[in-house]
């Protein structure tokens, strides 16, 4: 059943992948894929993730603001999530789109977070999780997400291609995450349109912005470039500004802020300066 390509000696990835397959199995028992697909076909198309990152491009980079209650490297990020308040604050601060963690065991997420966010915002939403199965793409679409995260490192090439194609058939887009040159080649061969460069090493969980500095120039211009992880302040934004990126995904810094709207506004204004 495990159709992934991650290193077999990586305990964190082994655990999260196994737990994810178990979540998928249980969800399919409750609602089979054919019925879930019918739900997807009966709801309107979500707002365009691509358009949100490309509109007003001359004004500078966009920010994808992330809702994440916890992380494997940092533990609990907030004691009281207050998801709706945070989503409204992100929109007020100028976020172009939202990223919502739905992985429950390591990131404190929940698929219902997407449904709750949709009630208070019209911003496009990225479902951020360990997406391994077409079922999970359909789950995201049924909840109203505009995009799903696909991690190149944990998917075989054929599965990655299948999930990208399915996303498009469901009027969604995929943010395809890479960590090195080999991942980038694999993502482009699979037909990725939005490339996310993750500055966090999946094995050590260490963060280094040099990963974006190395990989961003290798991504062809027509593709959308996003830098993820480790963006902590305006100095980091300045460091990344010259790399022809389209967007930054900012999570832990915003989650730890007492005033995420103000912090996000400062980052957005600096990006446009």
Cβ(33)–Cβ(159) below 8 Å:
no
128, 167, 174, 186: the catalytic one is: 128
Catalytic residue among 177, 186, 227, 271: 177
| Catalytically annotated residue among 62, 68, 118, 186 | 68
CA-to-CA distance for 171 and 250, rounded, in angstroms? 25
Query: Is 177 annotated as catalytic?
Result: yes
Tokens of 222: 């027509």
Q: Is 66 a catalytic residue?
A: yes
Choose the catalytic residue: 91, 139, 173, 228.
228
Would residue 229 show up in a list of annotated catalytic residues for this protein?
yes
Question: Among this protein's residues, is 68 annotated catalytic?
Answer: yes
Residue 118: active-site member: no
Catalytic hit among 71, 198, 199, 227: 198
Residues 6+ apart with CB under 8 A from 56: none
Asked whether 248 and 237 are in contact (CB, 8 A), the reply is yes
Set 66, 91, 139, 173: catalytic member? 66
Q: Which of 146, 167, 227, 229 is catalytic?
A: 229
Q: Write the Ramachandran bin of 94: left for phi over 0, alpha for psi from -120 to 50, otherwise beta.
A: left
List residues with catalytic annotation. Answer: 66, 68, 128, 177, 198, 228-229
């Amino acid at each position: 059943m495990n159709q992934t390509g991650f290193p077999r000696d990586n305990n964190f990835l082994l655990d999260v992948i196994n737990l994810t397959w178990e979540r998928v199995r249980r969800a399919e028992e409750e609602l089979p894929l054919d019925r879930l697909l019918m739900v997807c076909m009966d709801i309107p198309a979500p707002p365009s993730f691509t358009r949100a990152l490309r509109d007003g491009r001359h004004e500078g980079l966009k920010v994808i603001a992330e809702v994440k209650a916890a992380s494997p490297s940092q533990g609990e990020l907030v004691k009281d999530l207050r998801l709706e308040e945070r989503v409204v604050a992100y929109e007020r601060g100028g976020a172009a789109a939202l990223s919502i963690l739905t992985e429950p065991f390591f990131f404190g997420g929940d698929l219902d977070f997407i449904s709750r966010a949709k009630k208070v915002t019209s911003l496009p939403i990225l479902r951020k999780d360990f997406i391994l199965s077409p079922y999970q793409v359909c789950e995201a679409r049924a909840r109203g997400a505009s995009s799903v995260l696909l991690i190149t490192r944990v998917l075989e090439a054929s599965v990655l291609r299948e999930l990208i194609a399915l996303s498009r058939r469901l009027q969604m887009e995929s943010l395809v995450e890479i960590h090195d040159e080999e991942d980038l080649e694999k993502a482009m061969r699979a037909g990725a349109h939005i490339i996310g460069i993750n500055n966090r090493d999946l094995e050590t969980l260490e963060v280094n912005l040099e990963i974006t500095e190395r990989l961003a120039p290798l991504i062809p211009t027509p593709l959308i470039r996003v830098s993820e992880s480790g963006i902590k302040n305006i100095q980091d934004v300045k460091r990344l500004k010259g790399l022809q990126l389209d967007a930054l995904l900012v999570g832990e810094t915003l989650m730890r802020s007492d005033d995420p709207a103000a912090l996000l506004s400062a980052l957005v204004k600096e990006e446009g300066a």
